[in-house]
Amino acid sequence: MSYREEYQASIDDPKAFWAEKSKLIQWFTPPVEILSTDEHGIERWFGDGELNTCYLMLDYHIEQGRGDQIALIYDSPVTDQQQKFSYSQLRDQVAICAGMLKNHGVEKGDRVIIYLPMIPQAVISMLACARLGAVHSVVFGGFAPLELAVRLDDATPKVLITASCGIEINRIIEYKPIIDSAIDMASHKPSACILLQRPQALANMQPGRDVDWHEAIAKASPADCVPLKGTDPLYILYTSGTTGKPKGVVRENGGHAVAMKYSMSAIYDIEPGDVYWAASDVGWVVGHSYIVYGPLIHGCTTILYEGKPIMTPDAGAFWRVISEHGVKTLFSAPTAFRAIRKEDPEGKLAARYDLSCLQTIFAAGERLDPPTYDWLSEIFKVPVLDHWWQTETGWAIAAPMVGLEQMPVKPGSSTMPVPGFAIEILDDRGNPLGPNEQGFIALKLPLPPSCLTTIWGDVERFKSNYLETYPGYFNTGDGGYIDEDGYVFIMGRVDDVINVAGHRLSTGEMEEVVGRHPMVAECAVIGRYDELKGQLPMGFVVLKNTEGAEPDQVIQELVALVRRDIGAVAAFKHALIVARLPKTRSGKILRKTLRAMVDGDEYSVPSTIEDPAALDEIKALI
């Protein structure tokens, strides 16, 4: 079927379309009621089907004769190690890990927080939860104790799984002090903290609460897959919103498994048995969907890479991994490619490797800027494909569907809507806009399978954040346009979310942290353009009393405060002390104008501005 036919079918009759696609996976009991509406009025997929996602990823493939195929390759330049797990070996380790969790009282529906670096135990723990029907919540290692504490209180996990350390190039990040401090701060205390000791750092264990991973595994016996309803939650993944409280995006088993399976062939054009590599982190949605779930549901070999695009040991790291493991599809963030290009603009390091196995390069996380697109296309001579997605959807909303047909791409565009996603561009009143008119990007309901159906424990927040702005639509928070040929162009967030090196962060949250400094009267944080990371946060800070204040000292303290309360990943390193913030007469800070000014873009001064001189003062400081 051509892309157009497939897409139209998904829009004309979503139920029939997804009923057909649901047959791509092996259900214990196939769904009869394909789409239903729950007690909150939210539409949900495959509610009466029964399945187990871990079964689909491991046991099913073993039954189909793939037991000896490599499922997972752990490649760790930071520890100089590699390890391969066949489907049978991975299933055995996951089943024992599930048994270990069971020994600690974890049952269907219980939450488990996973705070682990990019090591096999991260994947094993996620799948062990899926096996039991427990709900995992992976927290990215670059987040600070307070962020972890917030997630502990929100997800109220029975168990926390961690390791003694992560490794950032050659820096050891000890996890235990972070864990201890987070548990101290949180009101909810997990009953056990299972910790994997890594040789690079030995953690002190707290008797009664902390449990050694190996000792606990030794006591466990394998656990079986628990049948789950299609709408039972698989995981919670916290993502930044406009306030300090992150949103727990809930992913359901049935819709997610169907979307993952469909996407592997329709979007990524990859076959079971192929090697697929998402160079991301399991702490982000890309890592969930395309390091762990998608490739394994599809019967591929996936790679867990504990390293960076550069410096581990050089900018040839990605190309080494590709040639060594026979990677067919590479998926990473544009920022990673920009980092490589900066170090190796002519691709000399890439030329050292046989990359004939590489069929396609996919990019997401931020817009693939045309210079990076051109560089990748020129050096690698394979299709370079941008696709747009969000934690909320768990898979691409717009993409070149190369598994359906070879679609020409336009640099700067993430191509066409993925089947199931009815993308519309709306004005601020919710009226649809025409071709090439820029506006707010919304998705007409129902959303296709895999998209969130609630925020953990807060369905009202889900409704108010996403569904109430434009009735009948899901509000993506992104802005952009669709051109006359139907190509989607994402121009960036229209809210307080920024993208720093492919990491989604909230400027609103940073403002809350900066505002906690005793000398700060008010502040605004914006995302300024950065050549490497796409955006970097920048603060504009008004002090309560400048007498005796050392501006540089205050700025240093603010930088330290954001690092302490959000984490190194926030990369908040720039702030300006200003006399006042530019505001409208109703008191709204003109963040958009500030951003344009800092980036050197054209900007107009809104007629509602309270005092135009405030902008001039800041301009003089930049």
Q: How many CB atoms lie within 10 A of CB 592?
A: 12
Which is closer to ligand AMP, CB of 412 or CB of 432? Answer: 412
Which is closer to ligand COA, CB of 22 or CB of 162? Answer: 162
Whole-angstrom Cα distance, residue 122 to residue 139? 11
Part of the chain binding ligand AMP (CB under 6 A), chosen from 190-198, 388-396, 420-428, 457-465? 388-396
478 binds ligand AMP (CB under 6 A): yes
Q: Binding string to ligand AMP for residues 353 to 372, with x set by CB under 6 A, is what?
A: -----------xxxx-----
Written as six digits, the tokens of 139 are 């927290």
Q: How many CB atoms lie within 10 A of CB 573?
A: 15
310 binds ligand COA (CB under 6 A): yes
Q: Binding string to ligand AMP for residues 396 to 425, with x set by CB under 6 A, is what?
A: ------------------x-----------
Whole-angstrom Cα distance, residue 232 to residue 400? 31
Written as six digits, the tokens of 423 are 């993308």
Which is closer to ligand AMP, CB of 244 or CB of 477? Answer: 477
CB of 500 to ligand COA, least distance (A): 6
Candidates 164, 335, 415, 535; binder of ligand COA (CB under 6 A) is 335
309 binds ligand COA (CB under 6 A): yes
Written as six digits, the tokens of 530 are 């950065």
Candidates 146, 211, 569, 598; binder of ligand COA (CB under 6 A) is 569
Pairing relationship of beta strands 43-45 and 35-37 according to DSSP bridges: antiparallel
Residue 168, contacted partner among ligand COA, ligand AMP, none, CB below 5-8 A by kind: ligand COA
- Return the exposure string of 354-375: e unless at least 16 CB atoms fall within 10 Å of the residue's CB, then b: ebebbbbbbbbbbbbbeebbeb
Residue 339, contacted partner among ligand AMP, ligand COA, none, CB below 5-8 A by kind: ligand COA
Candidates 142, 230, 295, 439; binder of ligand COA (CB under 6 A) is 142
Pairing relationship of beta strands 111-115 and 70-76 according to DSSP bridges: unpaired
Q: Using an 8 Å Cβ cutoff, are 363 and 334 in contact?
A: yes
Whole-angstrom Cα distance, residue 363 to residue 412? 11
Q: For residue 124, what is the enclosing H or E element?
A: helix 120-132
Candidates 61, 308, 493, 528; binder of ligand AMP (CB under 6 A) is 493
The secondary structure of 361-391 as a DSSP string is EEE-SS---HHHHHHHHHHH-S-EEE-EE-T
CB of 273 to ligand COA, least distance (A): 24
Residue 110, contacted partner among ligand AMP, ligand COA, none, CB below 5-8 A by kind: none
* 3-state secondary structure at position 587: coil
For ligand AMP, how many residues bind (rule: CB under 6 A)? 20
Whole-angstrom Cα distance, residue 375 to residue 361? 12
Q: Using an 8 Å Cβ cutoff, are 301 and 332 in contact?
A: no
- Interacting residues toward ligand COA by CB under 6 A: 141-142, 166, 168, 173, 280, 284, 286, 308-310, 332-333, 335-336, 339, 364-365, 501-503, 568-569, 571
- Interacting residues toward ligand AMP by CB under 6 A: 239, 284-285, 364-367, 386-391, 414, 477-478, 490, 493, 499, 504
